[in-house]
Amino acid sequence: MNSSISALPLSILNSANEALTQRLPSSLQLKQQLPLSNALTQQITAHRQAVRAILNGEDQRLLVIVGPCSIHDPQSAIEYAEKLTRLAHDVSDEMLLVMRAYVEKPRTTVGWKGLAYDPHLDGSDDMAAGLTLSRELMLEMTRLGLPVATELLQPMAAGYFDDLLSWVAIGARTTESQIHREMASGLSMPVGFKNGTDGGVTVAVDAMRSAAHPHRHFGVDSQGHPAIIQTPGNPDTHLVLRGGHQGPNYDRNSVAQIRTDLARVKIPSRIMVDCSHANSGKDPMRQPAVFNDVLEQRLQGDRSLIGMMLESHLFEGCQALSPTLRYGVSVTDGCLGFSDTEHLLLNAAARLRLQR
């Protein structure tokens, strides 16, 4: 893959107490270096519309966001994407599979921040190379025919690959952020807001209401200049349940209460369940149990449950960053292995077909 766009020379400020700066290429430059073809642009538009149709109840398929907790190795990411492409075809009558291509990771304190920040996994933080590699990988996944999803954490980074995305997550730590709500209001694809880490949905509901409205906000244009950004508002948002400090929130009683809360503020009941995080007690091998519980609720008639999210890699578990990494194993949250993921989704598709 091509990584020819590099950062401009380091600029050191006069005072040792001030931050160092290093200029990056603009998002426009990177998009011109790694452009979308007309055919891929049309494909992404169709994928976004397919996700919207599921959110709006026009398409009865299940939306499944599935893939690694984070991408750290291009080779294993593409191998996973190739496997997922075949699986997506096999279940396409009952599910729309969207590849998780998470290149930014929120950290509670410190730690590896993701491929876009530190692609060499060594603390060098070569962000110019990271942005280039992230775009290259998302382009390759798109060429395979997959819709692509990511969590947008740093609004300045979003412009480097927003044209490739069919679905976006705003995470539990950033759902309350006005900056992220403003950003979401200008995105051209559906956005899922996760509930707060306390497990409550009020913050996410407020975020959806905010993102639905037009905003004017400070930002950076495609050429890297400070700008006033005017957004149209995003009608294609929904809630993502990920549990909280008190435990899971995907059970029938919790979902029923959340539907009531959404109806009270006149927000459509469009709910996705994240089968990982607090909903699985941070045990990746519990994800199938969560998935099947939510699937059963849907089979029993709860159409507010429009989809699920799974953390899945080539092989199960996770590992700490080290000089000798096991291939296809997550370096952040633990994941379900692909064989178990395939078994879970094929069985779910079979159960859904029986209901037809």
pLDDT, tens digit (0-9, with 9 covering 90-100), for 315-325: 999 999 999 99
pLDDT over 90 (residue 147): yes
**pLDDT score, position 17:** 67
Residue 35 lies in a domain: yes
Residue type, 182: E
pLDDT band for position 52 (cuts 50, 70, 90) = very high
**pLDDT score, position 110:** 83
Residue 259 lies in a domain: yes
Phi, psi of 35 (to 5 degrees): -80, 160
Residue 9 lies in a domain: no
Residue 58 lies in a domain: no
pLDDT over 80 (residue 7): no
Residue 275 lies in a domain: yes
Residue type, 158: A
Nearest to 199 by CA among 274, 126, 268, 263: 274
**pLDDT score, position 288:** 98
- Structural domain harbouring 129: 23-51+63-355
Number of Cα atoms under 13 Å in the Cβ half of residue 356: 10
Q: What is the CATH classification number for the domain harbouring 315?
A: 3.20.20.70
Torsion of CA 235, 241, 242, 243, to 10 degrees: 140
| Mean pLDDT over each residue of the chain, to the nearest integer | 94
Nearest to 167 by CA among 181, 182, 188: 188
Residue 115 lies in a domain: yes
Question: How many domains is the chain built from?
Answer: 1
Residue 16 lies in a domain: no
Residue 356 belongs to what H/E stretch? none
Residue 84 lies in a domain: yes
**pLDDT score, position 187:** 98
